[in-house]
Amino acid sequence: MKKIRRIFGKDIGAALFFLMPALILFTVFTAIPVVAAFFISFTHWDLFRPPTWVGLDNYTRLLHDPIFGKVMKNTAIFVLATVPLQMGLGLLAALALNRGIRGQTFFRVAYFLPAVTSTIAAALVWSWLFNSNYGLINAGLSMIGVDNVPKWLASTKWAMPAVIIVSVWQNVGYAMVLFLAGLQNIRADLYDAAALDNASGWSRLWHITLPMLSPTTFFVLVISIIGSFQVFELVFIMTEAGPANATNTLVYYIYQNGFQFYQMGYASAAAMILFAIVLLITMVQYTTQNRWVHYDT
């Protein structure tokens, strides 16, 4: 309190007044639930009877839960596939649009539109597109002569790739907009200097653009990884984790256990593990960033 008073001085009343809405929302919807979940993860609780303290039981059960193992594997595959794809394609799109091609505004909007479209609506439309009997995608594949069209969302092999495709489609625009902003922040005089230094287009990309873009890349990487770990709506609408848990991912599994099987303690334990993984990865990223992130000062 002393410190707060030192920072805000005699304006503390006004400062708290303006901070209040955000503070209340954060406390009620973030801080309390997180702390509560932490404690709930050490209990058995079905929402109707009072919770009973079971110590680490939920965590040991998770370790031996074969579905949880599969969920972890699915989540890892999903993250490892979507993050590089949406970042790579987003960067390519940004580089192309940054060259000032014709219809730049149109492409910018076209790529960004999926990012602002309701995930639920998009997932529904994509479910129809992926429909193995009547979907446009398989119609197209048949037309170009593919005989054994995949059953997509109904296939344990193709359901995950389908979800990944939609997720990448939805997030490429967001990455692209961030990369575009980053590209436009690179000082033009560096390219002048590079032109005089005989750097070819590729050299300029490799030696100037990518290093100078690294703060943006770092930011996009961090938020993409966090976002990918939290995939839920796509799975919820497109596959409901099926078939046979082929697309079951961490957040969906947490939802399933909490709100379908009424195992709040078990769900909370899984949530804690998700939290720990994301925290760990983000910490590793922050501590290794000075090896490859260059801030232009």
Partner 1 sequence: MFVTLKDVRKSYGNLEVLHGVNLEIEQGEFCVFVGPSGCGKSTLMRMIAGLEEISGGEIAIDSQVVNEMEPAERGVAMVFQTYALYPHMDVRKNMAFGLRMTGHSRAEIDQRIAQAASILQIEELLDRKPANLSGGQRQRVAIGRAIVRDPKVFLFDEPLSNLDAELRVTMRAEISQLHKRLSNTMIYVTHDQTEAMTLADKIVVLRDGHIEQTGAPLELYDDPDNMFVAGFLGSPRMNFIPAVVTGSGARLICGTDIDLPELSTKLTQGQKVFVGIRPEDMDEESPQAQTLTRSVIMLEELGGTRFVHADGAGAEPLLVEQRKRSAEAPTVTARFTTDRMRVFLENGARVR
Question: Least separation, in Å, of the C-beta of 220 and partner 1?
Answer: 18
CA distance 77 to 238: 18
User: Which of 211, 213, 255 minimizes the C-alpha distance to 233?
Assistant: 255
Nearer to partner 1, 191 or 275 (CB): 191
* Number of residues binding to partner 1, judged by CB under 8 A: 22
User: Which of 256, 273, 290, 279 minimizes the C-alpha distance to 41?
Assistant: 273
CA distance 16 to 7: 12
Question: Least separation, in Å, of the C-beta of 283 and partner 1?
Answer: 24
Number of Cβ atoms within 10 Å of the Cβ of 222: 16
189 is a site residue for partner 1 (CB under 8 A): yes
Which of helix, strand or coil describes residue 226? helix
Nearer to partner 1, 102 or 291 (CB): 291
- Rounded to whole angstroms, the maximal C-alpha distance in the chain is 75
Nearer to partner 1, 219 or 261 (CB): 219
Question: Least separation, in Å, of the C-beta of 184 and partner 1?
Answer: 17
Which residue stretch of 9-17, 64-72, 189-197, 252-260 sits at the interface with partner 1 (rule: CB under 8 A)? 189-197
Q: What track of x and - describes contact with partner 1 for positions 190 through 229 (by CB under 8 A)?
A: x-xxxxxxxxx--x---xx--xx-x---------------
Q: End-to-end distance of the chain based on CA atoms, in angstroms?
A: 35
Whether a cis peptide bond, with omega within 30° of 0, leads into 243 is yes
148 is a site residue for partner 1 (CB under 8 A): no
Site residues for partner 1 per CB under 8 A: 187, 189-190, 192-200, 203, 207-208, 211-212, 214, 294-297
